[in-house]
Amino acid sequence: MTTYVHDFSDGDKDQKDLLGGKGANLAEMTNLGLPVPPGFTITTEACRAYLAAGHEPDGLADEVSAHLATLEAAMGRRLGDPADPLLVSVRSGAKFSMPGMMETVLNIGLNDESVVGLAAQSDDERFATDSYRRLLQMFGSTVLGIESEVFAEAHDALKKERGTVEDLDLGVDDLRALVATYKKAILEHAGREFPQDPREQMDLAVRAVFDSWNTDRAVLYRRQEQIPEDLGTAVNIQAMVFGNRGMSSGSGVCFTRDPASGAQGVYGDYLQNAQGEDVVAGIRNTVSLADLADLDRTSHDELLAIMATLEKHYRDMCDIEFTIERGKLWMLQTRVGKRTPEAAFRIAVHMVDEGLIDLDEALRRVSGAQLAQLMFPRFDPGAERTLLATGMNASPGAAVGKAVFDWGTAVEWAERGEDVILVRKETSPDDLHGMVVAKGILTSRGGKTSHAAVVARGMGRTCVCGAEALDVDTKEGRFTVRGGKTVHEGDLISIDGSTGEIFDGAVPVVDSHVVRYFEGDDVDDPVVSAVTRLVEHADSTRRLRVRTNADTAPDAARARRFGAQGIGLCRTEHMFLGDRRQLVEDLIVADDDAGQEAALQALLPLQRADFTEILEAMDGLPVTIRLIDPPLHEFLPDLTELSVAMAVADVRGHRKKRQRKLLEAVTRLHEQNPMLGLRGVRLGIVIPGLFTMQARAILEATAARVRAGGAPQPEIMIPLVASVRELDLVRHRIADVARDVAEETGIDLAFKVGTMIELPRAALTAGQIAGSAEFFSFGTNDLTQMTWGFSRDDVEASFFGTYLEQGVFPVSPFESLDTEGVGSLVRTAVRLGREARPDLHLGVCGEHGGDPASIHFFDEVGLDYVSCSPFRVPVARLEAGRSAV
């Protein structure tokens, strides 16, 4: 028979699946001999059975009765006994803590009779009545589903009547009146009396916890955080201890280290004469742990000793909830505490130095996402700031600008050089122009998968979304913070996409210390030294190498400072822009071979100079250069604009020959789906001179570098290959060029020729292709587009928000590799390629090369390196190391 209920003494911290996080840790603390009020846990299995069947599973009620009887015996009291009641709390606790699920109901067991018993036993009628009104309030809102405002408003109204804002100023008569009001409110709003039967109170509370697994908010949260739907929650039933029994009692939360800075030393808040959530609710000012020492030395010292025990035991920073009842300390919860990225790095290395964990474990405890956070510019922590409100931290960064409320104004103001923050209730594809030019985006509605959030992350734009305290009036061009200030169009605001905070005015922004350190500045910062230590440890453990995507010598040099071990993708198309566009036009409109050849000859020295610089910046390290990839018309004027210009010229009667030819070319090259058109290797085959010119430029640059005493390692990469025949056509021409250059320069040229794998056909025929390629580089951006059949430039703004909300994928496949689909093509190509050519060198150069989850996948399938933007290089180094430990 299944056991649905476990006593706290029967379990441990590793049973989170069965007992939930709270239950598992209560069991752990109980077995450590810490002062935990006794109780028992109803398992997640019971919850799953309940949710599947729609009623409590057979046997659950009996098991609960048996455990309750044991608890009553231990406490020497019966639940809700009119003379001397045992009271319990019913506490939810899933494997992962989840906002949106039912919280906790305290003081279960009180009713019209037992409240009298409690008053008599404690000799404190105010305390008993206060406990009862709390029960009615929590039970009414969480179990019976009544808006909590109903209770809060009645409470506030009474305090106002008494001319106070302090809960503690209400006397016993006031509280008795409040109890009556609450009971009336329950009857009115829930259509039933508050249940007087203690066991019924308990059973209803348990059922409400089970049901809360499926509230909309909980479902949404699980989808966002990728928590499985079918875990269910556990329920903890625990004997009450009372922090609201006068000034020698109280309730608090504490951390074994500072969760914000990571500094060593305890940190916490305590509130006298308070119960449960009072501490975090901010109703009264809390005091620090140091002050607790003055109030109650014994409890304080015992608490500190327990904190040390817990930290040693968990070998991590712990977050603790405790209560003191008349000088006696009780532990009510602990867990490994959440922390800021700064704190994560500092705590991890401190713990290594304290001998609690080793460096591998420290590496597991930090993440690339946290390091990325530390590399964004941030608001100067020392600067003064006025917090307006807090929303969701949708896309990191620190943005300052003037508030604007429509995309038109955003564009207009940005064009005249102003920094703007686009503020909307929520964004739609119409707002895109405004989002592109804005420094940041702020919305009052929508979660982390809302349109604003998805698009902002895609563009790397700072975004705070779902700031519900803001009343945004786009028509009037202003927003009002609930109960606070109004910000008008043109007023300066600052938003922090890493914390979700919204500040009044312009908060000064400072560069990230971590970035300054990598750039070579002298920075004395404990966070930076922690980061360096762990990144260096990652370097010593990782198998995967990290290269960078860089198109210019300065970018290459910077990436090298950030630790790049070569270039995985050097795009050559930008080398055809600016002044050089003219030469490309010449090439395209050339009437004959001679004209084409002349245009190519003009481009050659320019390209050679580009490559020489880049090979110099990456001297001694491999540099993968991709031959020209985009459709040619991207280098030509826009068809409509050109047609208009021609029409005007016509009217004036001087239509130029060159313009006519240009128009012809533009018309000829115009494509419905340029992404699927004449680009990549197809261009190289149709206009062979283009690729051979580029190959010559690369090889002449190589020769020049060798002559200068350098050690260039060029790798020529052919884009968009689908068939080995395409690759062969191009490869033979490159070999001819190489022979010529070697002859002309008298230098023995070492280089490689390989291809991108970015079309499904290439992945599926990788065995054949590997016969002609010395390396593969997975172009996972195109491979994702081509596999899913959607265009990245279009879909992220149009329907990705909906797709994420509807759970088609948990995260954009352009952000994190779709390991099932696209990843399966990668696996296939790796296998076929290595079978055909065991020493085939493999890498990835798509956006995914810098994404933590994808990096672990690439390591697992056996790629040799990932390549990412210069700023992501440290993140990739760290994640590649984490993947190896």
Q: Which residues bind ligand ADP (CB under 6 A)?
A: 37, 89, 91, 103-104, 106, 238-241, 251, 276-277, 321, 323, 332-333
Residue 765: contacted member of ligand ADP, Mg ion, none (CB under 5 to 8 Å, by partner type): none
Long-range contacts of 287-293 (CB under 8 A, 24+ apart): 289/252, 289/254, 292/252
Q: Is 670 a catalytic residue?
A: no
Q: Report in angstroms how near the CB of residue 159 gets to Mg ion at its nearest.
A: 26
Structure tokens at 739: 């022979």
Beta strand ranges found along 337-419 (DSSP E): 378-379, 386-390, 392-395, 398-404
Which among 749, 755, 787, 753 has a CA at the least distance from the CA of 769?
A: 755
Cβ burial, residue 232 (10 Å; 0-12/13-18/19+): buried
Q: How far is the CB of 333 from ligand ADP (least distance, A)?
A: 5
**Secondary structure letter of residue 690 according to DSSP:** H
- Within 166-185, the residues that bind Mg ion by CB under 5 A are none
Cβ 755 to ligand ADP shortest distance, Å: 54
| Residue 469 to residue 447: CA distance in whole angstroms | 14
CB under 5 to 8 A by kind: which of Mg ion, ligand ADP, none does 241 bind?
A: ligand ADP
Side-chain-facing half-sphere of 723: CA atoms under 13 Å = 5
The tokens describing 275, both together, are: 């119960």
Q: Which does 847 bind (CB under 5 to 8 A by kind): ligand ADP, Mg ion, none?
A: none
240 vs 410 by CB, closer to ligand ADP: 240
User: Which H helix or E strand runs over 252?
Assistant: strand 250-257
Interface residue with Mg ion, options 779, 823, 843, 881 (CB under 5 A): 779
Nearer to Mg ion, 577 or 676 (CB): 676
Which residue's C-beta sits nearest to Mg ion? 782
Q: Using the rule CB under 5 A, is 782 a contact of Mg ion?
A: yes
Strand 264-272 to 328-336 pairing? unpaired
Of 227 and 646, the one with the shorter C-beta distance to ligand ADP is 227
Amino acid at 743: E
Nearer to ligand ADP, 333 or 340 (CB): 333
By a kind-dependent CB cut-off of 5 to 8 A, residue 106 interacts, out of ligand ADP, Mg ion, none, with ligand ADP
* Cα–Cα distance measured from residue 462 to residue 397, given in angstroms and rounded to the nearest whole number: 5
Could you tell me which stretch among 269-277, 325-333, 570-578, 769-777 binds Mg ion (CB under 5 A)?
Answer: 325-333
Q: Which of 573, 865, 864, 561 is nearest to 694 (CA)?
A: 573
| Alpha-carbon torsion (843, 845, 850, 854), positive or negative | negative
Nearest residue (CB) to ligand ADP, 245 versus 378: 245
Residue 779's binding partner among Mg ion, ligand ADP, none (Cβ under 5 to 8 angstroms by kind) is: Mg ion
Q: How far is the CB of 34 from ligand ADP (least distance, A)?
A: 14
238 binds, among ligand ADP, Mg ion, none (CB under 5 to 8 A by kind): ligand ADP
C-beta of 302 vs 321, nearer to Mg ion: 321
CA dihedral sign, ordered 362, 365, 369, 372: negative
How far is it, in rounded angstroms, from Cα 858 to Cα 194?
58
The DSSP letter of residue 504 is E
- Which partner in Mg ion, ligand ADP, none is near 198 (CB below 5 to 8 A by kind)? none
Q: Is 193 left (phi over 0), alpha (psi -120 to 50) or beta?
A: beta
**CB closer to ligand ADP out of 89 and 883:** 89
For residue 110, the minimal CB distance to ligand ADP (Å) is: 13
Residues 6 or more apart in contact with residue 536 via CB below 8 angstroms: none
296 vs 782, beta carbon nearer Mg ion = 782
Min CB(89)–ligand ADP separation in Å? 3
Give yes or no: 451 in active site.
Answer: yes
Task: State the CB neighbour count (10 A cutoff) for residue 628.
Answer: 23
Name the residue nearer to ligand ADP (CB basis): 37 or 268.
37
**CB nearer ligand ADP, residue 275 or residue 867:** 275
> CA gyration radius for the chain?
33
Taking the complex as a whole, the smallest distance from the CB of residue 91 to Mg ion amounts, in Å, to: 7
Stretch that binds Mg ion, among 403-411, 485-493, 583-591, 750-758 (CB under 5 A): 750-758
CB 873, min distance to ligand ADP, A: 40
Q: Does 440 bind Mg ion (CB under 5 A)?
A: no
Is 333 a binding residue for Mg ion by CB under 5 A? The answer is yes
How near is the Cβ of 632 to Mg ion at its closest, in Å? 16
Catalytic-role residue among 47, 570, 845, 868: 845
> To the nearest whole angstrom, how small is the minimum distance from the Cβ of residue 614 to ligand ADP?
55
- For position 712 contacting Mg ion by CB under 5 A, the verdict is no
Which of the choices Mg ion, ligand ADP, none does residue 782 contact, using the CB cut-off of 5 to 8 A by kind?
Mg ion
Q: Residue 599 touches which of Mg ion, ligand ADP, none (CB < 5 to 8 A by kind)?
A: none
Q: Are 37 and 240 in contact (CB under 8 A)?
A: yes
Q: Least distance (Å) from Mg ion to the CB of residue 833?
A: 18
Query: What, of ligand ADP, Mg ion, none, does residue 880 touch, CB below 5 to 8 Å by kind?
Result: none
What is the DSSP annotation of 256-305?
A: EE-TTT--EEEEEEEEES--TTHHHHTSS--EEHHHHHHH-HHHHHHHHH
Contact predicate 78/115, CB 8 Å? no
Which pair of structure tokens corresponds to residue 90?
């019913």
Joined tokens for residue 508? 């000064």
CA 741 to chain centre: 50
Interface of this chain with Mg ion, residues 304 to 323, rule: CB under 5 A: 321
Nearer to Mg ion, 125 or 782 (CB): 782
**Strand 545-549 with 567-571, pairing:** parallel
Q: Which is nearer to ligand ADP, 131 or 261 (CB)?
A: 131
In whole angstroms, the minimum distance from the beta carbon of 101 to ligand ADP comes to 9
Number of CB atoms found within 10 A of residue 660's CB: 13
104 touches, from Mg ion, ligand ADP, none (C-beta below 5 to 8 Å by class): ligand ADP
CA–CA distance from 541 to each of 224, 544, 667, 878 (Å)? Answer: 32, 9, 55, 10
Residues touching Mg ion, count (CB under 5 A): 5
Instruction: Work out the number of other CB atoms within 10 angstroms of the CB of residue 169.
Output: 11
Interface region with Mg ion, contact rule CB under 5 A, candidates 76-84, 529-537, 619-627, 754-762: 754-762
Q: What are the strands, taking DSSP E only, across 685-781? A: 713-718, 752-757, 775-778
3-state secondary structure of 509: strand
Q: Which of 67, 155, 350, 451 is catalytic?
A: 451
CB 329 within 8 A of CB 500: no
**Should residue 549 be labelled a site residue for Mg ion when binding is judged by CB under 5 A?**
no
Please choose which of Mg ion, ligand ADP, none residue 89 contacts, taking the beta carbon within 5 to 8 angstroms, the exact cut-off set by kind: ligand ADP
Site residues (vs Mg ion, CB under 5 A): 321, 333, 758, 779, 782
Which residues are marked as active site?
451, 845
